[in-house]
Amino acid sequence: MKLLVTGGAGFIGSNFVRYWLKNYPMDVVVTVDALTYAGNLENLSDVSDNPQYKFVRGDICDRELIFSLVKDVDVVVHFAAESHVDRSILDPGAFVRTNVMGTQMLLDAVKEYGKRFHHISTDEVFGALSPTDPSFTETTKYDPRSPYSASKAASDHLVRAYFHTYRTAVTISNCSNNYGPYHFPEKIIPLFITNLLEGKKVPVYGDGQQVRDWIHVEDHCRGIDFILHKGRIGETYCLGGDNEITNLDLTKKLISLLGKDESFIEYVADRPGHDRRYAIDFTKARQDLEWEPLITLDEGLEKTVQWYIEHQEWVNRCKSGEYKEFYAQQYGR
């Protein structure tokens, strides 16, 4: 099989490329990535010599490039996105361009050449839950509340529209928060680990009582594999980690793993419109695909902390340049 992986130099995409080449060494993986601030070829340095792998730098909105790449593969696995909620609050336009228009460009190419398309989406499209609400499922009504989640919701709707209108061979996965190696240090887990390693405080939004479900990126990649091999065309699958935890309790776990104390917590103004709780019910994936997450949060966090300890040069390079400007603007330092 020949796959086109969009956004393959980002966090989940690079883990997926590595996962696929390891588990399906006869397959060919082509990655297209614009290498925005979040894309990093270093994330793929260990596969760069693999003859089954090819990297193409490019924008998913570039029609000529995308049509030429899609024509030559069997399946498109679509990760490329602007992915950070805080950035979407500052600049929604970039999110609409890549997440909505870029997805539409890929769908047009997939439709033209009759290829299979798997769309990576998020649980954030469903909005927020109260502490007693049941978890999100594939039938939960969409209620996106940030420019990021609204752009992802729009892209999900387009994917379904291409299935219903043109019978394009699509599947979608809505996944909870990922963590693991090569996660850009702007999201809570890598930001907090790297701050603590540098002896800096960790900025907890509001009261820290926001609840998230965390899935290790390897479990997510396995879920996508199962959907590609066993999923039904036109269907959506929710993937979760079975690990609901408040941001504050997660912070305390990281503090303890890094041998620090709670004086390293700095409470900062809450994110505008911050959703209180996300949770995923992945019964459908368990029943139809025989998939379930295998890595517990404690085990995954320990492995992740170790990875960041061993990759401090990678972190330093990520945390230079544009990153510094963004965080100076965000947190006033």
Ligand X SMILES: NC(=O)c1ccc[n+]([C@@H]2O[C@H](COP(=O)([O-])OP(=O)(O)OC[C@H]3O[C@@H](n4cnc5c(N)ncnc54)[C@H](O)[C@@H]3O)[C@@H](O)[C@H]2O)c1
- Interface contacts to ligand X, rule CB under 6 A: 7, 9-13, 33-36, 38-39, 59-61, 79-83, 98, 102, 120, 122, 152, 175, 177-178, 184
* Of 261 and 322, CB closest to ligand X: 322
Pick between residue 101 and residue 260 the one whose CB is nearest to ligand X: 101
Q: Are 208 and 322 in contact (CB under 8 A)?
A: no
Residue with tokens 């602007």: 82
Give the active site residue among 19, 33, 59, 148: 148
Structure tokens at 208: 């820290």
Query: Of 201 and 245, which has the nearer Cβ to ligand X?
Result: 245
Q: Is 124 an annotated catalytic residue?
A: yes
Least Å distance, CB 141 to ligand X, is 19
Catalytic residue chosen out of the listed positions 33, 82, 123, 275: 123
- Tell the smallest beta-carbon distance from residue 262 to ligand X (Å): 25
Residues 126 and 180 sit within 8 Å (Cβ to Cβ): no
Cβ 188 to ligand X shortest distance, Å: 10
The identity of residue 228, as a single letter, is L
Q: Report the distance separating Cα 38 and Cα 87, nearest Å.
A: 12
Residues 6+ apart with CB under 8 A from 312: 197
Min CB(184)–ligand X separation in Å: 5
Which one from 82, 124, 219, 225 is the annotated catalytic residue? 124
Q: By Cβ distance, which residue is nearest to ligand X?
A: 10
> The tokens of 33 are what?
């990535």
Is residue 82 within 8 Å of 61, Cβ to Cβ?
A: no
Exposed e or buried b per residue across 241-274, where buried means at least 16 C-beta atoms within 10 angstroms of its C-beta: bbbbbbbbebbbbbbebbebeeebbeeeeeeeee
Q: Is 267 a catalytic residue?
A: no
Nearer to ligand X, 175 or 255 (CB): 175
Q: Is 148 a catalytic residue?
A: yes
Judged by DSSP in three states, 236 sits in: strand
Which residues are annotated as catalytic? Answer: 123-124, 148
